[in-house]
Homo-oligomer: A and B are copies of this chain.
Amino acid sequence: MGVTMRDIALRAGVSVSTASRALNHKGDVSPDARARVLAAAHDLNYAANAHARALAGASSHTLGLIFINNGDSFFARMARSVTDVATAHNYSIVACNTNENPAHELQALQTLREKRVDGILIGSIASGEAPIRRLVEEGIPFVLINRFLDDVETDCVYSDNRNGAYQAISYLCRLGHRRIMHVTYPDDRFAVRERLIGYRRALAENGIPYDPCLLLRTDLSLPSLYQTTKDALCSLDLRPTAIFVYNDTTSTAVLKAVHDAGLAVPHDISVVGYDNLDYSAFLDPPLTTVTHAADEIGRMGAEILFEKMQWPQDQPWAIRRVVLQPELVIRQSSEACPHNRANQPETTIEHDSQRHAA
What's the nearest-Cβ distance from chain B to residue A222, in Å? Answer: 5
CA of A97 to CA of B79 in the docked complex: distance in angstroms?
Answer: 10
The answer on a CB contact under 8 Å between A55 and B51 is yes
Residues in B with CB closer than 8 Å to A104 are: 87
Q: A49-B55, A97-B87, A279-B252 are in contact. Are A92 and B79 (CB under 8 A)?
A: no
Are the CB atoms of B50 and A115 closer together than 8 Å? yes
Q: Can you spell out 20 A-B residue pairs with CB atoms less than 8 angstroms apart?
A: A49-B116, A50-B114, A51-B52, A51-B60, A71-B81, A73-B73, A73-B76, A75-B76, A76-B76, A76-B79, A94-B95, A222-B278, A222-B282, A222-B356, A223-B357, A252-B282, A255-B284, A256-B282, A256-B284, A256-B357
Known contacts A223-B356, A284-B284; 20 further A-B pairs (Cβ under 8 A): A47-B110, A47-B114, A50-B115, A50-B116, A65-B95, A69-B80, A71-B79, A71-B81, A72-B76, A75-B76, A93-B94, A94-B94, A222-B356, A223-B281, A223-B357, A226-B282, A252-B282, A256-B286, A283-B283, A283-B284
Q: Is A54 an interface residue (CB 8 A)?
A: yes
Chain B residues within an 8 Å CB radius of A116? 49-51
Check if B87 sits within 8 Å of A92, measured CB to CB. no
Which residues on B sit within 8 Å (CB–CB) of A357?
223, 226-227, 256
Knowing A116-B49, A282-B226 touch, does A97 contact B80 (C-beta < 8 A)? yes
By the criterion CB–CB under 8 Å, are A279 and B249 in contact?
A: yes
- Give the chain B neighbours of A62 by CB distance below 8 A: 94
Judged by a CB distance under 8 angstroms, whether A342 is at the interface is: no
Provide the bound-state CA to CA distance between A125 and B314, in Å: 45
**Bound complex: CA of A49 vs CA of B60, how far in Å?**
11
Q: Which residues of B are found within 8 Å of A286, using beta-carbon distances?
A: 256
Cβ–Cβ < 8 Å partners of A223 in chain B: 281, 356-358
Across the interface, A114 reaches (CB within 8 A) one of B49, B94, B222, namely B49
Provide the residues of chain B in CB contact with A48, threshold 8 Å.
114
A352 to B44, CA, bound (A): 58
Q: Which chain B residues border A356 with CB–CB below 8 Å?
A: 222-223
**A237 to B282 CA separation, bound complex (whole angstroms):** 26
Which residues of chain A in 83-123 are interfacial with respect to chain B, using CB atoms and an 8 Å cutoff? 83-84, 87, 92-97, 104, 107, 110-111, 113-116
Contacts of A253 in B (CB 8 A): 279, 282
Bound CA–CA A257/B81 (angstroms)? 30
A115 touches B92 (CB 8 A): yes
A254 nearest in chain B by CB position? B282
Q: How far is the CA of A70 from the CA of B295 in the complex (A)?
A: 12
Chain B residues closer than 8 Å to A358, beta-carbon distance: 223
| Docked complex Cα distance between A93 and B111 (Å) | 11
A54 to B113, CA, bound (A): 15
Q: How far is the CB of A89 from chain B (nearest CB, A)?
A: 12
Kindly state whether residue A21 has any CB partner on chain B within 8 Å: no
- Known contacts A116-B51, A278-B222; decide if A45 and B249 are in contact (CB<8 Å): no
The minimal Cβ–Cβ distance linking A280 to chain B, given in whole angstroms, is 9
* Chain B CB within 10 Å, residue with most, of A71, A72, A93, A357: A71
Q: Which of B45, B96, B255, B278 contacts A83 (CB 8 A)?
A: B96
Q: Which among B54, B65, B80 is the interface contact of A71 at CB below 8 angstroms?
A: B80
Find chain B residues with CB under 8 A from A94 CB.
62, 92-95
A312 to chain B, nearest CB (A): 17
- Give A279 to B51 CA distance when docked, in angstroms: 44
